[in-house]
Amino acid sequence: MLNQYRGLKRLEVFLAAVVLMASVFAGGTAGRALAQTGRGGAGAATGTPSNASPRPSGSGEKEENDETEEVPGAPLNLSIDGYEIYAVAGSRDTLDNLRKGRQAKVLVHVKGTGIRTKDVGKTNISVTKLNDSFKMSGNPKVKVTSEKEDDLEFTVTFARLTYLGKGNGLKFRTSFKKAGIPSEIQEAAILECEESYPGEHGDSGSTNGQPVIKVRRISPQAPVGPGDHFTLELDMENTSSDADIEDMVVTVSPGGSVFIGDDTNSRIVSRLDSRKTASVKLNMIAGTEISGPTQVIDLELKYNYYSGGNLVSGTSSQKVLIPVKGGSVSGQPVIRVGRSIGRTVNPGEAFQVLLTLQNTSADKDIRNLAATFESNDQISLLEETDTRRLGELRAGQSMEVPVRLQAGAELSSAASQLLGMTLKFDYDSDKGAVQGTYSEKIVIPTNGQAKGPGNPTPNVIVTNYTYGEKVTAGQVFDLEMEFQNTSNASAVENVVMSLDTGEGISINSSSNTFYIPKLGPGESRKEKVTVQALFQSKLQSPKITIACKYEYVDKRERKQSNSNETIAIPVYQPDRFQVKEPSFTEAIRQGEEAAISIPYVNKGRGQVYNVEARLEGEIDALSRDLTLGNFEPGKSGTIDFVVTPGTKGEFKGQVIVTYEDEAMEVKTLQIPVNFTVQEAAPEMSELPVDAGTDQDRGGAGPGIWLMALVPAIVVPAAVVRVRRKRRKKKEAASGLDPWDELEDMSRDDTDREGRS
C-alpha cells in the first residue's frame, strides 16, 4: 500500500512539472491556473503573484486562503529547482524518510524566469511559510546564488521543520521589497514524507515512544585499585530513529568505595539527536577499602524529547560496572551471576529467567547457599517464597536456578527492570567457618508503554560556588552558591535548600536551610552562608551536601521533586613557623672560628617542607647554604653557621630562610645578622735567652738572681689578691663587671710606676 502511495506521489509531481512547462512556454493564464494544482517537488512549483503584504497568523504562518489572493502585475514565473533534506542540529546526513513528529532541515532551491538578479538585489527577498504539512521553528533564511546579469536564483533554508504526518507539501510565499514586483506562492513536494496509517510501521496513531539511551563505559578499561584517581568516560547513544533528545541531565551516584573528584556529580548534554552519540566525563577516586570484582555506579538520566511534534519529559536509570583490582573481598569466594532471557518482556506477561551461579574460587567450596529475591512494583515473583535454598557449590563449579516472574500490566517506559538478589553462604577461611554475602541486580529487558506527553521535569543544580582565594583551618568565611533552574519551560516553586556538612567544616549562620519562593524557567539565584573550617579536621577537602526540594506544575497537576549535589572545599593548616634573633659566640675575634645560631619553632598544626637557609655577607663560612628538610608540628631548634672573620670591625649580613607550607606555597624569612669582630689576641712572647753564663759576665750567680726575683713576684701577687677581694666586694655592691676590675687594676699599677 505504501509503495502505491509513493508511486502516485511521483506521478503527481511529474504531471505538475509538465503542466508548468506548458504554461511557461504558452504564457497563458489557463496554463498558470493548472500549474497551481501541482506539487512543488524538484522542478515543480506554483507561481501565483500577489501584491498583498504578509499577514501573520497565531502560529507565525500564513492562512490557507492567502494563496488564492491575486494582484495585478507581471508574474516572475518562479519555479522550484530542487531541494535537499538533512537531519537537524547542523548534521550533513541526508534523510531517506520523514515520519510523523520527526524533524528535518530543508533547503529549497528556487529559480526565476524573466527577471535578472540585479533588478531584485541580493537582500530584497523575504520568504513567509504558509500552512502546510509541516510545523516550523524560527524563520526561513534566503540566500541569492545567481550572478547580477543572470536570471534570479536563490535558496530558502528551513532550519527546523516538524512533519505533521499528513501530505507532503511545503508552502511558502516569496515577496520582493522593490515596488512593482509582485509576490508569488511556491509549494515543494517533499517525497521523503511517509504518511502514517494505522497498523503500518507499527504506527497505531499514537505519539512516538520514549527513546532508549544505550550507555557504554569507555574508561577505565584497566581495573582500579585503592586510592587510584581515574576518569569515568561514558558514551550515551540515542537508539531511537525518530526522537531527538534535548537538555539531558546525567546524574552519577557512586557506591560507598568510589568517590567523585569534581565539584558536582551532574553533567548536562544539551542535545542528542536520533542515532547519535555523546560522551560525558567525571574525575573519580577509588577508596582505600575498595573491594570486590566490580563496583556499581548508578546513573539517572533526565531529558526532554520530541513526540508527535511536542516536547515531553523522560527518565532512565542505569548502572555502570567498574573493574576492581584484587577480584574479591579478602578470603571470600566470588560468585559470578549470569542470566538467560533472549527477548524483551511485554506488559502482563509471565516468564521464566534462568540464572547461572558460578563459584569462581579455585580452592574454596561454598556451603549452605541460599538466594533471596527482591521484586518491585514492575516485576512480581511467582515462586512460593522469596528465598531459595541451593545447598553446596564447589570451587570452580556452576549451577542453574530457574525463577518464575510476571511483568506488571502497566510497565514503565524504561528499557529494563531490575530484580534484586542476595546470596548468603558459608565457606572456610583462616579463622574457621565464616559466613559470606553477595548482592546482585538482574537486568530484565522490558517493552514498556510510553506515557502521554507532559511538561519537561525541571531540575535545580549548582552552577557555581565561591569561597575566596584559600581557606585555612579555623577560618570563618562566606560560601556563595549559585543555583539554576535548568528547564526552559517550567518554573519551580517552594524551593527549600538544606546544607549538610561533613567532618571538618561547620555552619556559622543561624540556620543551614534557606527558602526560595520561585525560580522561573532558566532563572538563577545566589545564596550565601557563613561556614567555618575546623582545626581538628584530618581531611584536605571537607564535603558539603546540598539537598533541594521543590514543586512544579505539570499541566494542571502540582508535582514534587528533589535533587542532591555535593561540593568540596580545600582546607589548609595555617602557617605558624617562626624564627628569633640570632645569638653569637661570646667574643668574636679576627681569625678565630665563631658560631651564629638562629632559634626556630614550628607552632602550627601542619608540617613545613623543604626548609633551607643561606648566609649572605662578606665573611668566611664553613657552609653558606644549609638544607634542613621538613619540620613536623612542634619542632624547635637552631640553625647554626660556623664562620671565621678575616678582618676586625662591624659585620653586617643576613640569613635567608625559605620553606613551603601545606599549600605548597614558598615562604621567605630574612634575619639580620650584625656583630663586632675584635682584634686578634696577642701572641705570648718568649723570655730572652742569654748566650753567655753569669760567670762570664762577672755578675752574680743564678741563686742570687732568684733570691732577688722571689720578693718582686710574691709581693705584687699578694697585693693583687687583696685588691681583687676588695674589688669583688665593691662589685657585689655596685654591680661592676669583672672585665672593668681588671682594667682598673692595670690602670692603678701604671700610675704607681709613674710616681715612682
Residue 729 is predicted with a pLDDT of 44
Q: Are 44 and 189 in contact (CB under 8 A)?
A: yes
What are the pLDDT digits (tens) for 147-183? 988 999 999 999 989 888 889 999 999 998 876 788 8
Residue 111 has what pLDDT?
Answer: 92
Pairing mode, strands 258-260 and 310-323: unpaired
Which amino acid, residue 73? Answer: G
Between the two ends of the chain, the Cα-to-Cα distance in Å is 152
- Render pLDDT for 10-26 as a digit per residue (tens, 0 to 9): 666 566 555 555 544 44
Would you say 211 and 245 are in contact if contact means Cβ atoms under 8 Å apart? Answer: yes
pLDDT higher than 70, residue 9: no
Q: How many degrees, rounded to 5, is the angle at CA 68 between CA 62 and CA 70?
A: 110
Ramachandran angles phi, psi of 474, nearest 5°: 90, -10
Domains annotated for the chain, with CATH where assigned, are 2-189 (no CATH), 213-445 (2.60.40.10), 460-572 (2.60.40.10), 577-677 (2.60.40.10)
pLDDT band at residue 85, thresholds of 50, 70 and 90? very high
Q: What is the DSSP track for 182-224?
A: -EEEEEEE-TTB----TTBTTB-SSPPPPPPEEEEEEE--SPB
Beta partners for residue 675, in sequence order: 651
For the chain, the C-alpha Rg in angstroms (whole number) is 47
Q: Report the range of poorest mean pLDDT among 65-74, 172-181, 195-204.
A: 65-74
Residues 12, 147 contacting (CB under 8 angstroms): no
Name the grid cell of 441. Answer: 541486580
Q: What is the pLDDT of residue 225?
A: 84
Q: 220: cis peptide before it, omega within 30°?
A: yes
Q: Please state the rounded mean pLDDT for residues 646-657.
A: 90
The least confident of 340-354, 536-550, 554-568 is: 536-550
CA within 13 Å, CB half, 752: 8
Lowest average pLDDT, out of 104-118, 128-142, 437-451, goes to 437-451
**Cell, residue 541:** 577537602
Scan for cell 529549497, then name that residue.
108
Q: CA-based angle 58:63:66, to the nearest 5? A: 140
d(CA 549, CA 560): 7
What are the tens digits of pLDDT across the range 579-624? 999 998 888 888 888 999 999 999 887 888 999 999 998 888 889 9
3-state secondary structure 11-24: HHHHHHHHHHHHHH
526 within 8 A of 502, measured Cβ to Cβ: no
Assign 264 a pLDDT band (cuts: 50, 70, 90): very high
> 65 by DSSP, 3-state: which?
helix
Mean pLDDT computed over every residue of the chain: 78
Check residue 684 and give its pLDDT: 57
Q: So what's the pLDDT on residue 309?
A: 60
Rounded-to-integer distance, Cα 188 and Cα 110, Å: 10
Neighbours of 277 (CB within 10 A): 13
Q: What confidence score (pLDDT) does residue 287 get?
A: 85
pLDDT digits (tens, 9 = 90+) for 700-717: 444 444 454 444 454 344
What are the angstrom distances between the C-alpha of 576 and each of 283, 661, 669? Answer: 34, 9, 12
What's the confidence (pLDDT) of residue 18?
56
- 421 close to 377: Cβ distance less than 8 angstroms: no
- Which pLDDT score is estimated for 723? 45
pLDDT at position 246 over 90: no
Q: What is the pLDDT of residue 33?
A: 32
The C-alpha cell at 743 is: 682594667
Task: Collect all residues with Cβ–Cβ distance below 8 Å to 7 and sequence separation of at least 6.
Answer: none
Q: Report how far Cα 169 is from the mean position of its chain's Cα atoms.
A: 47
- Distance separating alpha carbons of residues 677 and 656, to the nearest angstrom: 22
> What does the alpha-carbon distance between residue 266 and residue 462 come to, in Å, rounded to a whole number?
9
3-state secondary structure of 89: coil
Mark residue 167 as left, alpha or beta (left: phi above 0; alpha: psi -120 to 50; beta: remaining).
left
**Which residues have CB under 8 Å from 693's CB, separation 6+?**
none
18 vs 435, more confident: 435
Per-residue model confidence (pLDDT) at position 359 = 92
- The pLDDT value recorded for residue 369 is 94
User: Which residue do the cell numbers 521543590 mark?
Assistant: 550
**How many Å apart are CA 428 and CA 337, to the nearest integer?**
21
DSSP assignment of 396-419 equals: T-EEEEEEEEEE-SS--SSSEEEE
For strands 557-568 and 524-533, give the pairing: unpaired
Q: Comparing 468 with 370, which gets the higher pLDDT?
A: 370
d(CA 80, CA 61): 20
Percent helix / strand / coil, the chain, rounded to 5: 15, 50, 40
What mean pLDDT comes out for the span 293-319? 85
Provide the pLDDT confidence category of residue 669 given band limits of 50, 70 and 90.
Answer: very high
What mean pLDDT is predicted for residues 344-359?
A: 90
- The pLDDT score that the predictor gives to residue 614 is 94
pLDDT at residue 501 in the model: 87
pLDDT digits (tens, 9 = 90+) for 372-404: 999 888 889 999 899 999 999 999 999 999 999
Q: Please tell me the least confidently modeled range out of 228-232, 276-280, 461-465, 685-689.
A: 685-689
Find out whether 415 and 445 touch, Cβ atoms under 8 Å. Answer: yes
What's the predicted TM-score (pTM) here? 0.30
